[in-house]
Amino acid sequence: MKRVVIKVGSHVLNEAGEVSKERMLALVELVAQVQKSGKDVIVVSSGAVSSGYSKLKLDKSLIRNKQALAAIGQPLLLKMYQDKFERFGMLCSQVLLSASDFDSRKRTKHAKAAIEVLLANKVVPIINENDVTATEELVFGDNDRLSAHTTYHFDADMLVILSDIDAYYDKDPREHSDARAFKRHSFIDQELLEQTCKPSSEFATGGIVTKLQSAQFLLKRDKSMFLASGFDLTDVKSFLLEGVQKGGTLFSV
């Protein structure tokens, strides 16, 4: 594996209405270790809305307010990332994209050209949806789909989704105590994909269904996806750094 996209959801970065410095530092440390092991790393990060909300308490049930909060929070979020990456002697960068950028070959090509320069210079691209002009992931998806497109179009081998859940289960583990985690999964049931998505908190949107959609998108294109906990990075570390899968779910053909 040469290039990996690591996506961190808003649940993971968010702690009591603010971006958790501790968790962001743990994520940045992981990125630094993966990069040191010789892989290119692209980060897709949520957290702009919660970052903005820590400064201005607007009603988040309104999309236009969420957009405004993202506009306030995005530079704050990046400043936090910059500070953390600096501790590891690394540079990071901001890349704001939307799904429609991937609809246009020309725009995808332009974005990829910039990403290649960043990666060649060991600069970590931090991608987020441009929430002021595109609201798709803000409403539904929490960057799950954006990260799948990022993986495919920027030639990564794998997408790693760091979530508030440590694996994909045969049923929702929060509602069923007997739910069993899948270690590997190679086929996504169409019925599951058509389920209505239940947002599981005021910050996150989409839940497990958008993750399955991303997995299906990538499986069809010969890419793989690894879903693991973003709270405890033990599983993702052993998977990415030692090539050993202890926990998490690997979606792969």
- Using CB under 6 A, list all residues that contact ligand ADP: 9-12, 142, 163-165, 168-169, 171-174, 200, 204, 206-208
By beta-carbon proximity to ligand ADP, the closer residue of 12 and 32 is: 12
Minimum CB–partner distance for residue 124 and ligand ADP (Å): 20
Minimum CB–partner distance for residue 181 and ligand ADP (Å): 8
3-state SS class at 231: coil
Question: Which residues are bridge partners to 7 per DSSP?
Answer: 44, 161
Closest to 208 (Cα-Cα) out of 168, 158, 249, 151: 168
By beta-carbon proximity to ligand ADP, the closer residue of 5 and 119 is: 5
Minimum CB–partner distance for residue 142 and ligand ADP (Å): 5
Give dist(CA 161, CA 27) in Å, integer.
12
Strands 40-45 and 3-8: parallel
Minimum CB–partner distance for residue 45 and ligand ADP (Å): 11
* Cα dihedral value 129, 127, 235, 253, nearest 10: 80
Output the CA angle 163-206-43, nearest 5 degrees.
45
180 near 170, Cβ under 8 Å? Answer: yes
Minimum CB–partner distance for residue 179 and ligand ADP (Å): 7
Minimum CB–partner distance for residue 152 and ligand ADP (Å): 19
By beta-carbon proximity to ligand ADP, the closer residue of 130 and 229 is: 229
Closest to 229 (Cα-Cα) out of 165, 184, 170, 174: 165
Q: Which residue is nearest to ligand ADP (CB)?
A: 9
Q: Which residues contact 225 (CB under 8 A, 6 or more apart)?
A: 148, 151, 158, 159, 160, 161, 211, 214, 215, 218, 219, 250, 251, 252
By beta-carbon proximity to ligand ADP, the closer residue of 157 and 173 is: 173
Closest to 154 (Cα-Cα) out of 219, 201, 109: 109
Sign of the torsion formed by the C-alpha atoms of 165, 170, 176 and 179: negative
By beta-carbon proximity to ligand ADP, the closer residue of 111 and 230 is: 230
72 near 55, Cβ under 8 Å? Answer: yes
By beta-carbon proximity to ligand ADP, the closer residue of 44 and 240 is: 44
Minimum CB–partner distance for residue 6 and ligand ADP (Å): 12
By beta-carbon proximity to ligand ADP, the closer residue of 11 and 145 is: 11
